[in-house]
Structure 1
Amino acid sequence: MRSPASLVLLALPFTLAVPAPAAGNLGSATTQNGLTAGGCKAMTVIFARGTTEQGNVGSLSGPPWFAAMSKAVGAQNLAVQGVDYPADIPGFLAGGDKKGSAKMAQLVMQAMTACPDTAVVMGGYSQGAQLVHNAAAMLPADMAAKVSSAVLFGDPMNGKPVAGVPAGKTKVICHQGDLICAGTSTILMPHLTYSQNAGEAAQFAATAAGM
């Protein structure tokens, strides 16, 4: 049984110690609205942050990945959109915030409709990975099939396919010793170091998109 206490005691000291840069820079800002406030780009990343992270993309996994992505495909070709949702402990324990999951699905559909030529990448860290699973299952089959790739860091649903997205276009990165990936609610250091995988995750998404 998952214990909320383990999330409160172990997650908060790390996330609250991280400063909250203003929106903007892909490599540091905790808020990104490249879809809702910008124009169409060759690639659009819809990203959901982890539990208790700040902004709408957090800081632990998202920004390092976005920075690597901008190098891989070119900053001028990349739009990043965070998912606004509570990212609280009850949502994690419920298998991913329901409204946040629906919001992510809506953003994916918005990107595909407004920018039909963009390569849509679904990404998430920790509870955000739960949202990717949930949102993909909410998409119409034809839209799920158009997802360029899905990239998940520290996935609590490790081993479960992302509905409608081919296995070859899905990358799940789980560190040895990350107990979140093992289905528990205990956060240890291996769950907090996915920034080191930014390069491989970026290359995967770029290759899947043919960029």
Structure 2
Amino acid sequence: MWVAGFIIFVSLFQNLHASPPRKLVGKLESKVESKVGRFKGEFRKLSNEVIDTMKDSNDVKTGECKPYTLIFVRGTWDKPGNMGIAVGPHFAHALQRVLPGGKEALAVQGVRYSAETSTYFQHGSTFGASELTKWIKKACGCSKTKLIISGYSQGAQIVHRAIDKLPQEMADRVNAIVTFGDPEQRHNFGKGLDAKAKRICYDSDLICKEIAVPVGAHWIYELKTKEAAEFVAGKV
């Protein structure tokens, strides 16, 4: 059963990678439009310029210290760039619109890792988790920044992995956690962080039910980035 599920999962990801998930969205969005339709125009139609600017973000790497810092982990096959294009740029853009100071107040850092299907079945890439921890540690060097950690799909798994091994003094610096399409959504973060965390999952997203079939609502979490940003604004 596990092997069969793995083959189906790999096949789906390969097909969707060859034919971008956004082509699938048009056929599926009517199922969720009643809940999030009023946001789709604003958050699904970001200009190519905005996405191109944010898909590879390295503010922490370059030493930027700003009032707020977002560290984001993209999902499986979400390429190009260390932010991907499915959720990361949309979430960063939404945060810029709700946080005081806007774009100039938010440092954005993506986590670069291979984002392959195989590590999804290992509860997320261990290398990705170590990279996330590295950027959290460096961001903590900015003593006044409010730290936001986020991940989508396998990226959410990586957030869980990293938090599990994060020293308490670093965990105390985290102000908000948001996961999208989280395969580990039933698991607590611990270390006093659950009250600061929001797990965003559609009821129809099988990935959130630990069923490895990434179809339907799993591809449209950009529609939830305004909700996520408003949650963060209430925590920082």
C-alpha distance in structure 1 between counterparts of 2:116 and 2:192, whole Å:
27
Aligned residues: 205
| Structure 2 counterparts to residues 114-193 of structure 1, below 5 A | 115-193=142-220
Query: Which of 78, 92, 101 is residue 120 of structure 2 equivalent to?
Result: 92
Match of 1:104 in 2: 132
Q: In 1, are the aligned partners of 2:171 and 2:193 still within 8 Å (CA)?
A: no
Match of 2:55 in 1: 30
Aligned to 2:191, the other structure's residue is in SS state: coil
C-alpha distance in structure 1 between counterparts of 2:66 and 2:18, whole Å:
33
Query: Which of 35, 59, 69 is residue 95 of structure 2 equivalent to?
Result: 69
Q: In 2, are the aligned partners of 1:65 and 1:195 still within 8 Å (CA)?
A: yes
What is the deviation of 1:138? 1.6
Whether 1:51 aligns to 2:76 is: yes
Whether 1:11 aligns to 2:49 is: no
C-alpha distance in structure 2 between counterparts of 1:199 and 1:150, whole Å:
15
Could you give the per-residue CA deviations for residues 164-211 of structure 1, whole angstroms, max 9, x where no partner exists? 2432210000101111111121111110010110101001112100xx
Aligned to 1:65, the other structure's residue is in SS state: helix
What is the deviation of 1:5? 2.4
C-alpha distance in structure 1 between counterparts of 2:52 and 2:226, whole Å:
13
Q: In 2, are the aligned partners of 1:147 and 1:165 still within 8 Å (CA)?
A: no
C-alpha distance in structure 2 between counterparts of 1:176 and 1:198, whole Å:
17
Could you give the per-residue CA deviations for residues 46-90 of structure 1, whole angstroms, max 9, x where no partner exists? 110000111111111111111110101111110110001111011
Aligned to 2:70, the other structure's residue is in SS state: strand
Q: In 2, are the aligned partners of 1:151 and 1:171 still within 8 Å (CA)?
A: yes
C-alpha distance in structure 1 between counterparts of 2:60 and 2:50, whole Å:
15
What is the deviation of 1:163? 3.2
Aligned to 2:119, the other structure's residue is in SS state: helix
What is the deviation of 1:159? 1.5
C-alpha distance in structure 2 between counterparts of 1:119 and 1:176, whole Å:
31
For structure 2, the residue ranges without an aligned partner over 5 or more in a row are 22-48
C-alpha distance in structure 1 between counterparts of 2:148 and 2:230, whole Å:
12
Moved more, 8-17 or 171-180: 8-17
CA RMSD of aligned residues (A): 2.0
Structure with bigger helix share is 2
C-alpha distance in structure 2 between counterparts of 1:124 and 1:27, whole Å:
19
Task: Indicate the structure (1 or 2) with the bigger Cα radius of gyration.
Answer: 2
Moved more, 192-201 or 163-172: 163-172
C-alpha distance in structure 1 between counterparts of 2:165 and 2:106, whole Å:
25
What is the deviation of 1:16? 4.3
Aligned to 2:54, the other structure's residue is in SS state: coil
With the length of structure 2 as denominator, give the TM-score of the two structures: 0.81
With the length of structure 1 as denominator, give the TM-score of the two structures: 0.90
For structure 1, the residue ranges without an aligned partner over 5 or more in a row are none
